């Protein structure tokens, strides 16, 4: 039931009470029954969303994309003309994408988006969920599986050159893997499963492969907080993909770099430890440890832009 419907019923109840068609007790019961659970935001006071009316600077701030790129993204992602929610709410592809981008660009409440889209909180929630589900079902394999578009042999070679130019000792390192602990509230059951002894918090863990262009090449998770990073790597299947696909155009094995929690493998390098370190070993560790921070800040390598408009226009028809 919409906010307007609730308002109409409440006005009818007030009129019935005034005309003494119902008594005070009946009025109280019915009024409480027909009071909306959502706060009565007056979404009807705002205009419906129109990308043409958005200022370019406002688009960049709200969506983190240029205004001229939104329609291009719709085409490249091959989005349907409209999205229909379970309750019948309909929005076009441009509005649906903008709702998704606004929702994920920065922490915000759905009520903060009412003035932009002129829709109620339930509508915005359903649209966001509908577009998110479509995006995952259609394009989810790009992050759950080895993405050949951003981790092709040529790009892996380019990544390794950028990392080495930044000061890394390895010449074939194309990315950095690490686990992330995200604290959660103490659960009522299965507390041991999610308790992380290292951080001493209840948590969920995620694994990310950071590339030098600022993208996450292979995300995985969540898993229980007590899982070790090495086990999470094995569970994710990342090393299996590395052994199959991580090669330069010339056939050289490419590797990623992790902390001492990971096992040493051909495609997975770690710092020296567990013993007396020579000066060369210490220099290697220092050189490699300084680069991941730069990668996280996305200052290692900037010439290549994955979402460069001209490239999107050229390759949009070739996406799998």
Q: What is the DSSP string of 227-266?
A: --HHHHHHHHTHHHHHHHH-B-TT-PBPEEE--TTSPPBT
Which residues, 6+ apart, have CB-to-CB distance to 43 below 8 Å? Answer: 3, 114, 118, 119, 120, 121, 123
pLDDT of residue 35: 74
Nearest alpha-carbon partner for 76 in 97, 59, 105 = 97
Residue with tokens 């109409």: 8
Q: How far apart are CA 231 and CA 270, in angstroms?
A: 16
pLDDT of residue 4: 56
pLDDT of residue 303: 33
pLDDT of residue 2: 54
Stated pTM of the model:
0.69
pLDDT of residue 52: 92
Per-residue pLDDT of the chain (320 residues; tens, 9 = 90+): 555 566 778 788 888 888 888 888 888 888 888 776 666 677 778 889 999 999 999 999 999 999 999 999 999 999 999 999 998 999 999 999 999 999 988 888 898 899 889 998 889 999 999 999 999 999 988 888 899 999 999 999 999 999 999 899 999 999 999 888 999 999 998 899 999 998 999 999 999 999 988 888 888 989 999 999 999 999 999 999 999 999 999 999 999 999 998 999 999 999 998 778 899 999 999 999 888 654 444 333 333 333 333 333 333 344 43
Kindly calculate the radius of gyration of the chain based on its CA atoms and give it in whole angstroms.
26
Q: How far apart are CA 75 and CA 34, in angstroms?
A: 43
pLDDT of residue 57: 93
Asked if 118 and 48 touch (Cβ cutoff 8 Å), the reply is yes
Asked if 296 and 203 touch (Cβ cutoff 8 Å), the reply is no
Q: How far apart are CA 48 and CA 98, in angstroms?
A: 13
Degrees (nearest 5) of the Cα angle 218, 155, 311?
100
pLDDT of residue 233: 94
Q: How far apart are CA 53 and CA 50, in angstroms?
A: 6
User: In the Cβ-directed half-sphere of 287, how many Cα atoms lie within 13 Å?
Assistant: 17
Asked, as a colleague might, if the bond just before 222 is cis with ω within 30 of 0, I would say: yes
What is residue 304's three-state secondary structure? coil
C-alpha 170: how far from its chain's center?
30
C-alpha 101: how far from its chain's center?
10
């Amino acid at each position: 039931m919409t906010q307007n419907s609730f308002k109409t019923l409440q006005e009818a109840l007030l009129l019935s009470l005034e005309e003494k068609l119902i008594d005070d007790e009946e009025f109280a019961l019915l009024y409480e029954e027909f009071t909306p659970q959502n706060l009565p935001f007056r979404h009807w006071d705002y205009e419906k969303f129109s990308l043409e009316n958005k200022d370019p600077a406002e688009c960049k701030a709200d969506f983190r994309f240029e205004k001229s790129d939104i329609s291009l993204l719709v085409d490249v992602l091959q989005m349907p003309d409209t999205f229909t929610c379970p309750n019948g709410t309909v929005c076009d592809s441009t509005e649906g994408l903008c709702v998704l981008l606004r929702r994920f660009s920065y922490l915000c409440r759905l009520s903060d988006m009412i003035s932009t889209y002129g829709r109620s909180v339930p509508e915005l929630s359903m649209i966001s969920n509908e577009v998110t589900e479509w995006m995952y079902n259609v394009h989810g394999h790009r992050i759950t599986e080895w993405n050949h578009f951003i981790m092709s042999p040529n790009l892996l070679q380019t990544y390794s050159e950028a990392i080495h130019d930044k000061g890394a000792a390895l010449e074939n390192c194309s990315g950095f893997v690490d686990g992330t602990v995200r604290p959660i509230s103490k659960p009522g059951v299965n507390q041991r499963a999610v308790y992380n002894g290292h951080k001493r918090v209840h948590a969920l863990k995620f694994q990310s492969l950071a590339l030098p262009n600022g993208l996450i090449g292979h995300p995985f998770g969540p898993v229980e907080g007590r899982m070790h990073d090495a086990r999470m790597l094995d569970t994710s299947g990342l090393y299996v993909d590395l052994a199959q696909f991580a090669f330069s155009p010339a056939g050289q094995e490419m590797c990623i770099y992790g902390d001492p929690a990971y096992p040493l493998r051909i495609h997975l390098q770690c710092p020296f430890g567990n013993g007396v370190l020579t000066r060369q070993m210490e220099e290697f560790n220092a050189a490699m440890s300084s680069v991941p921070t730069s990668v996280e800040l996305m200052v290692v390598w900037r010439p290549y832009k994955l979402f460069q408009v001209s490239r999107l226009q050229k390759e949009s028809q070739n996406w799998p």
